[in-house]
Structure 1
Amino acid sequence: MNRFADRLLAMLLLAIGMLCFTRVYFALGGGGAGEAFASARLAFFGAAGVVSALAALLFWAGLLPGRSTHDPKTPLFGRGAETQPGGRPRLRRLFAVVPFLAVLALVADQLGPWSRQPQDAGKSLIAEQTVPSAPEGQDVTSAPAPEPEAIQPPAPASPSEVALAPPVSPPEAAPAPAAPPQTVAPLPQAPPPQPTQPDGHREPVVWLAVAPDGLSILSASTDRTIKLWDIDGKRLIRTLGIHKDMARTALFLPDGARALTAGDDGEIVLRQLADGAVLHVFSSGQNGGVNKLAISPDGKRAVSGHDTGRVIVWDIEKGSVLHVMPGHDWSISGVAVSPDGTRAISGSIEGTLKLWDIGTGKQLRSWHGHERGPYGVLFMAAERHLITGSGDYTIKLWDLDSGREVRRLEGHSGTVYALALSADGKRLLSGSLDGTARLWDMETGNEIALFDSRSGPVYAVAFAADGTVLTGGYDRTIRDWPAGGGDAVALFPGAPE
C-alpha cells in the first residue's frame, strides 16, 4: 500500500515539475536564456522544477521510505510483531514541501499583477503597423539612409557666352485646375423639444387608469406621486397623494369618488378623490412592496401581488385581510380579478401563472405560461379566457378550463409591460419596453395599429372614453393617440428636467 502511494506521489511531483519548466519556457518566449532568466522568479521555478523531478524519481524508486506502519493482521507485541525500517521522514518532508511551495508560487504568478501585459503593448503594436514596409528583397534595417545630393555652385559664364545666349523668356504660368463640384450634406436636424409643464410627473409614468365616467385619469409614477387629471380641460386637478417609495398602481373604485393606490412602500391607500384625504391604509407588513393591484368589479375586494411572491386578498369595506396566499417562489409581476369577482390570477417573474379562488384563498390551477414574467394580465369578459403579456415579448390567450394556450400575438421586440382591453372586448392594447404600443384585433389576432413613442419604453396604456389610445412611459408624458394610428398629442407633458 505504501509503495502504491509513493508512486502516486511521484507522478504528482513529476507533473508539478513539468508545470515549473513550462512556466520558465513560456516566460523566456520559447527561446534561449536571456535577461528574463536572471530574475529571481524564474530562477525559483527552475530550481523547483529540478527538485520536483528529482523527488519524483526518488519516490518512484522507493528510496524515501516513510515511518514504519503496522499491518492490522499482525500483533503489536510479542514474537509475531513485525518491524520495518524507520524511514527518512525529514527528507520526505523536504522533497514534498518544495513542490507544494512551487504550486503556490505558480498560482500567485498566474494571478499577480506582473502576469499582465504592459500598458504600452498596444501602443507598440500600433507603431509597428505604421512602419512602412521595404520593397521585396530589401533589408530595412541595413539599408543606408539616402543622402541629400551635393549642391554645386554654377560655374561663372564667360562674356562671350553671355552675349551669344538668346534671351530666355519666363515660362507661362499653368492655369490653376478648376475646383471639383462639391455636395455638402446638411446637418441632421435636432429632434424637436418635448413639451413640458411644471406640474407634470418628474419621472416615468408607470400606470394609467380612466375614471368610470371617462372624464379623468389617474397616473402613478416612479417619482412616488399619484396625480388626478382632467381630460377635457387638459389640466391637473390635484396631486392625489405621495407614497414613501415608488408608486405602482392607482385604481378608481366603481363609485367614482374613491381610489386605491399602492407602491413599493408596501402600503395600499384608500383615498378620497374630492380632496385626496386618506380614508384607510392597508399595510402589507413583512409581505413586501406592492408590485401590482387589482379590484373586483363591485369594489368590495382588492388583490395585491408582492415582491416576496405572496398574493393578498383584502376586504376594502371592512379594512381587513381575507387571505394571504404564499404560492409563488418569485416576485409577483401581475395580478387580475375575474369579471364576476370570484377568481384572481397572479403571475411571477419566472413565468408561472396561478389561478385562485378569492372566497377561500385556495389555488385552483398553476402552470408555466411564459419564459419570463407576465407583467400584463387580463380576464376577458367571458371569464373562460385569460390574456397575458410577458418579458418573452409575446402576448398569449389562454383557455382557463384547460390551461391551454389558444393564441399567440407576436410583434413586440421588448417586454410587454402593460395590457388594456376595450370596453367591448374586441380590441387589445399593449405597451412595451421597445418604445411602442400596439392595437390588436382579438377576433383575428391581427395587429391593427402601431403607436411609436420614439422616446423610450411605454409602461402604461389605457383606452379613453372616446376610443382613443392613452400611453405613459419613460419620457414622463401622458399621450393621446388616434385609434387608427398617427401622431400623438402630448396630453399631459412631464415636468421640466
Structure 2
Amino acid sequence: MRRSTDRLLALAMLIVGIACFAKLYPVLGGRPLATARLEIFGVAGVLSVLAGLLFLAGLLPAAAGHDPAAPLFGRDAEIAPAGHPRLRRAALALPLLALLVIVADQFGPWRTEESGSEPAKDVAIAPTEPAPRSSEPKPEPEASAKPTSPEASAKPAAPAPAQEMAAKPAPPAEPVAAPVQPAPTAAAPAESAPPEPAQPAQPVQPTEQTALAPATPPQTVAPPPPAPPAQPTAPQGHRDAVVWLAVSPDGHEIMSASTDRMIKLWDIDGKRLIRDLGEHKDMARSALFMPDGKTALTAGDDGEIVLRQLSDATVLHVFSSGANGGVRQLKISQDGKLAVSGHDTGSVVVWDLKKGTVAHVLPGHDWSVSSVAISPDGTRALTGSIDGELKLWDIVSGKQLRNWHGHDRGAYGAVFLADGHHAVTGSGDHTIKLWDLDSFKEVRRFEGHSGTVYALALSSDGKRLGSVSLDGTARVWNMDTGAEIAEFDPGTGPIYSVAFAADGTLLTGGIDRTIRDWPAAGGDGKVLFPGAPE
C-alpha cells in the first residue's frame, strides 16, 4: 500500500515540476520573464522533478509502519529500516512550495502590471513619434534558394540558378538562380528579389509620455520606389524573357530564343523581324546558325533538337533526346559536323549532324548540365553542371579526359578561346574564371558581378569578353588583363543572353523581353528589338 502511495506522490511531484518548467517555456520563445521569477521556477521545477524521481525509484524509504516487502516475523523483522521521516517531509514540501509559487504568480498583485501588450518599462521609454522603418532588401538565401527561373515558370519574375532541376534535390554547394542554364532547385536563391515593403512601427501603449503625441500619426510606410521607365513594345516581339542570342556568320541577322517557346530571326540592319522560325513544345533554350548560313539548329526543354531552314522556317530534321530529358545547352562544331547537347538529367550527347544520328551518349554529370562549349578543332567539349563541376571530353572517341570542381556554384556560359587550350566559365559564385586546359589550373579571375554570371561571349578578335548576370548588368572585360572595360545597367532586371555584333557592339537579352545594343567602349545602349506588350 505504501509503495502505491509513493508512486502517486511521485506522479504528483513530476506534474508540479513540469508545470514549473512550463512557466519557463515563454523565455525560450523570446518573451522575457523577470530574473527572480525565472530562478524561482527553475529551482522549484528541478527540485520537484528530482523529488518525484526519487520517490518513483523508491530511494526515499517509508516514514513509518512496515514495508510490504519486509519480513513480519523472525530476526529480520527487528532490523527492518525505519525510514527517514524528515527527509521524506522535506521531499513532500518541495512540490507544495512550487505549487504555492505558481498560484501566487497567477493571482498575485503584480499580474495587473503585466496585463498590457507592452512591458511598462518599454512604454515609458518609447518615443512619442516612432520613426518608420525603412524598406530593407531581402537577403539572398545561399543554397537554396534559389530565385525563380525561366525553367520554373513560363514568365519568371526573378530567375535564379538555384532552381535548375525539377526532378532532383539541390546539390549541397548550389544556391542560387538563373534562366536558360539555371542552378539546382533549392535552391536558391532569389538573387534579384525585390525589396520587402516597409513595415509599420509597433504600436505604443498610451501613457502619460504619449499624451502629447500629434493628432495625426506620422507616416509609417515608406513611399513606393519610382516606377522604372516605360519600355517600348512591338507586337512582333518576344512575350517573355530572351534567354539566347546568336549572330549569323555574315553579321546581318540575329536569332533569339525565349521562355515564350518561340525562335525568332531578326534583321539587324533593317531593325525588323524577318520571321518566326518556329515554336518548341516547351521553353526554347538554344538557337544556333549552322556554318552554311542557310539552316539553324534549335533546342528546348521539350528534349527536341530541330534543324530548320532559315528562308521559310521549314523543319528539315528532328533529333529526339528521349530519356536524356530536356536540352539545357547546345553547341555546334565550327565545321558543322557534330553537335553536343547537355541535358537536365546530367547526360551529355554527341550528335552526328551529317548522318542525323547519335554518336555518343556520355554518362555526364550527377546534376543538370548548365554549360557546353566545343573546341575550335571540334575534337573536345567542355561541360559544366549546376553543382560547379566541369568535365573535359574527347567527343570523337566519347571518352572523359578530366573532371574537376571549378566553381562553388553552378558553371554557366562556357566558351573556348581560339587556341583551344584555354576556356572561360561563369558561375553562380559571381565569378568568371579563365582555365588552362592542359594543366587544369585557374589562370585568371574576372570579378565585379554581384549575381550569378549567366552567359558569356567572346569578341571576334578574342580580346574582349562579354558577360551578363542576374544582377541586371552586362560587362565587357579585357581578356589579357582581366580588367573591366565597361559596365551596362538598363535597370530592368536579370539579363540572360549575350553576343557580340559584327561591329563590336554588345547585344543582350533579358527578363524585360527586349534585345538591346550597347556601345563597345561603354555608354548608353538602345533597344534594338522591343518585346511584345504585356
TM-score, normalised via structure 1 length = 0.69
CA contact under 8 A between 2:240 and 2:258: conserved in structure 1?
Answer: yes
| Cα distance in 1 for residues equivalent to 2:49 and 2:225 | 71
Show the counterpart of 2:20: 21
Q: Is the 8 A contact 2:14 2:53 kept in 1?
A: no
The answer to whether the aligner puts 1:479 opposite 2:516 as a matched pair is yes
Q: Deviations over 1:93-138 (max 9, x none)?
A: xxxxxxxxxxxxxxxxxxxxxxxxxxx9479976654312499xxx
Q: 1:122 to 1:418 in 2, by over 3 A?
A: farther
Question: Which residue of 2 is the match for residue 199 of structure 1?
Answer: 236
Q: In 2 relative to 1, CA 312–61 (structure 1 residues): closer, same or farther, beyond 3 Å?
A: same
- Compared with structure 1, are the counterparts of its residues 369 and 58 closer, same or farther at alpha carbon in structure 2 (3 Å cutoff)? closer
Residue 130 of structure 2 is aligned to residue 130 of structure 1 = no
Shift of 1:459: 0.6
How many residues get paired? 373
Is the partner of 1:292 in helix, strand or coil? strand
Aligned to 2:58: 60
Residue 26 of structure 1 and its aligned partner are, at CA, apart by: 6.5
Within the alignment, does 1:382 sit opposite 2:381 as a pair?
no
CA contact (8 A) 1:13 1:55 kept: no
Q: Which residue, out of 329, 337, 343, partners 1:306? A: 343
SS at structure 2 position matched to 1:313: strand
Residues 87-126 of structure 1 correspond to what in structure 2 (within 5 A)?
121=117
Q: One-letter code of the match for 1:340?
A: D
- Identity, % of aligned pairs? 66
* Contact preservation (8 Å) 1:13, 1:52: no
CA gap of 1:496–1:402, structure 2 versus 1, over 3 A, is same
Deviation at 1:455, TM superposition (A): 0.9
Amino acid at match of 1:445: G
SS class of match (2:371): strand
The answer to whether the 8 Å contact 1:342/1:358 transfers is: yes
Matched with 1:79 is none
Kept in 1: contact 2:18–2:49 (CA 8 A): no
Matched, 1:395 2:432: yes
Query: Within 5 Å, which residues of 2 pair with 1:97-496?
Result: 121=117, 129-133=205-209, 191-496=228-533
Deviations 1:407-452 (A, max 9, x none): 0011111111110001111111111111111111111211111111
SS in 1 for 2:270: coil
Structure 2 unaligned residues grouped into runs of 5+: 1-8, 28-32, 36-43, 63-115, 124-201, 212-223
The code of the aligned residue for 1:248 comes to: R
- Normalised by the length of structure 2, the TM-score is 0.64
Instruction: Indicate the residue corresponding to 2:133 in structure 1.
Output: none
Q: Report SS of the residue matched to 1:197.
A: coil
* Pair 1:233–1:128, CA change in 2 (3 A): closer
The separation in 2 between residues aligned to 1:346 and 1:15, in whole angstroms, is 63
Contact 1:419 1:461 in 2 (8 A): yes
- CA-CA distance at 1:52 after TM superposition: 9.0
Give the letter aligned to residue 411 of structure 1.
G
Give unmatched runs, 5+ long, in structure 1: 1-9, 32-45, 65-119, 136-186
SS at match of 1:130: coil
1: CA distance, partners of 2:119 / 2:260:
48
Residue-by-residue CA offset, 1:366-414 (whole Å, 9 max, x unaligned): 1111011111100000011111111111111111011100000111111
1:327 partner letter: G
2:20 partner amino acid: F
Amino acid at match of 1:22: F
Q: In the alignment, residue 482 of structure 2 is paired with which amino acid?
A: G
Displacement of 1:489 after TM fit?
1.6
Measure the CA separation in 1 of the matches of 2:355 and 2:497: 30
Looking at structure 2, the residues matched to 431 and 11 of structure 1 have their Cα atoms a distance apart, in angstroms, of 70
The residue type equivalent to 1:246 in the other structure is: M
Q: Aligned AA for 2:341?
A: S
Deviations, residues 443-491 of structure 1 (Å, cap 9, x unaligned): 1211111111211111111111111111111110001111111111211
- What SS does the corresponding residue of 2:208 show, helix, strand or coil? coil
**Contact persistence 1:350–1:373 (CA under 8 A):** yes
Match of 1:158 in 2: none
User: Per-residue CA shift, 1:64-88, capped at 9, x if unaligned?
Assistant: 9xxxxxxxxxxxxxxxxxxxxxxxx
Counterparts of 1:11 and 1:292, CA distance in 2: 70
CA contact under 8 A between 2:376 and 2:420: conserved in structure 1?
yes
Q: Does the CA-based 8 Å contact 2:14-2:48 persist in structure 1?
A: no
Q: Once the 2 structures are TM-superposed, how far is the Cα of residue 58 of structure 1 from its aligned partner? A: 3.8
**In structure 2, what residue type is equivalent to 1:287?**
N
- Counterparts of 2:210 and 2:493 in 1: how far apart (Å)? 54
Shift of 1:24: 5.3
**Do the aligned partners of residues 245 and 123 (structure 1) sit closer, same or farther apart at CA in structure 2, a change above 3 Å counting?**
farther
Give the secondary structure class of the aligned counterpart of 1:18. helix
SS across alignment from 1:23 = helix
Whole-Å separation in 1 of the counterparts to 2:384 and 2:26: 57
- Cα distance in 1 for partners of 2:237, 2:281 equals 19
- 1:338 CA drift (Å): 0.4
Equivalent position SS for 1:21: helix
- Structure-2 separation of matches of 1:322 and 1:134: 80
1:440–1:446 contact (8 Å) kept in structure 2: yes
Rg: which structure is higher? Answer: 1
Q: After TM superposition, give the deviation of residue 27 of structure 1 in Å.
A: 8.4
Structure 1's 16 and 199: CA in aligned 2 closer, same or farther, altered over 3 A?
Answer: same
**Structure 1 residues 17 and 242: alpha-carbon distance in aligned structure 2, compared to 1, 3 A threshold:** same
